[in-house]
Amino acid sequence: MISVLILTLDEELNIADCIGSLPCSRLWRGDIHVLDSCSVDRTVELAEGLGASVTTRPFTNYADQRNYGLALPMQHDWIVMLDADERMMPELAREIEDVIRHSEIETAMFRVRRRDMFMGRWLRRSSGYPTWFPRVMRRGRVRVNRAVNETYLADGQTDELSEHLIHYPFNKVMSWWFARNCRYAESEAQLLIARDARGRKPWRDLICRDPGLRRAAMKRLAYSLPGRPFLMFLYLYVLRLGFLDGRPGYHFACMRMAYEIMIDSQAAYEHASRLDQDIAD
């Protein structure tokens, strides 16, 4: 009834716990697929040892990778897609079993919230919770767009689940988080420049029912504000009461501010480089 798809790149610290968080039944562990982006550690060995079928594909971008994974030959109509640093909770697993058992044919996708963990604590406020992530989808009915911080297009109805995934984005060393977000920032900067060139600002999406479109519209609005990195810190740490998350909340809000600075700096650099090239031409 359920196929599981896990995307990996050098996840030997996470993959065993990710697969191990799935219920110990053939319903969940009978068809596990790992799409690996050419890991150089023991990710593939560990995944195969836990019964997963591993496919290797060089990484291009996040949308391409997820679309490729969703098109793998799987046994069942419903796919639960996880990142290696996410953990399935028993309550969520039971809810997924129930909703897909009783879902209408029109239903194509379910979104799930995550609890982001940092320094041993759930970042309930400073992480911007709740953020919804598509994680349960009917095979052949979902398409992923956008190279980073992806958006999902469903051919059919989309609903939300009440239970949570647990997310450990800092299981690796902190330098890995900054390196990953540096890559994210470069992609976000390129998308920002392209969006400015098109001049399209669909503010009506701010009040739409789709949380994915609403979040994207809020990001577009935020990118138009002066002093955005510091405003992001104030939003997470003050307005969202991130200070109640203690030291983890403060440090995470600072890290998010640093990430926004990286995006702005990269966008300014790219814009200046293009102007210099235009002048040279």
Helix (H, G, I), strand (E, B) or coil at 72: coil
148: alpha, beta or left, given left = phi > 0 and alpha = psi -120 to 50? Answer: beta
Instruction: Count other Cβ atoms within 10 Å, centred on residue 85.
Output: 23
Instruction: Specify the pLDDT at position 275.
Output: 63
- Structural domain ending residue among the three candidates 119, 143, 167: 167
Alpha-carbon gap, residue 126 to 250, rounded angstroms: 8
Instruction: Specify the pLDDT at position 196.
Output: 58
- Structural domain ending residue among the three candidates 167, 191, 220: 167
**Paired sense of beta strands 78-83 and 132-138, if any:** antiparallel
Residues 161 and 204 reside in one and the same domain? no
* CA Rg value for the chain: 20
Query: Which H or E element spans position 180?
Result: helix 174-198
Alpha-carbon gap, residue 31 to 26, rounded angstroms: 8
Mean pLDDT by 10 residues, the chain (281 residues): 96 97 96 98 98 97 95 97 97 97 96 96 95 96 87 95 97 86 81 62 64 64 75 95 97 94 82 66 61
Please, are residues 123 and 117 in contact by the beta-carbon 8 Å criterion? yes
Q: Kindly report the CA angle at 127 between 61 and 209, in degrees rounded to 5?
A: 75
The residue assigned the tokens 């009040």 is: 207
Dihedral of the alpha carbons of 51, 55, 60, 62, in degrees to the nearest 10? -40
Helix (H, G, I), strand (E, B) or coil at 140: coil
Residues 8 and 140 reside in one and the same domain? yes
Residues 60 and 198 reside in one and the same domain? no
Instruction: Specify the pLDDT at position 175.
Output: 86
Residues 227 and 261 reside in one and the same domain? yes
Helix (H, G, I), strand (E, B) or coil at 163: strand
- Structural domain ending residue among the three candidates 116, 138, 167: 167
Residues 163 and 202 reside in one and the same domain? no
Alpha-carbon gap, residue 67 to 188, rounded angstroms: 20
Alpha-carbon gap, residue 239 to 249, rounded angstroms: 13
CATH of the domain at 9: 3.90.550.10
Residues 195 and 107 reside in one and the same domain? no
Residues 218 and 257 reside in one and the same domain? yes
Residues 183 and 276 reside in one and the same domain? yes
Residues 39 and 78 reside in one and the same domain? yes
Residues 256 and 129 reside in one and the same domain? no
Residues 206 and 274 reside in one and the same domain? yes
Whether cis (ω within 30° of 0) applies to the bond prior to 169 is no
Residues 98 and 224 reside in one and the same domain? no
Instruction: Specify the pLDDT at position 28.
Output: 97
Longest distance between any two alpha carbons in the chain, whole Å: 64
Q: Which of 246, 209, 212 is nearest to 125 (CA)?
A: 246
Please give the residue range of the domain that contains residue 182: 174-280
Instruction: Work out how many domains the chain is built from and give that number.
Output: 2
Query: Which H or E element spans position 113?
Result: strand 107-118
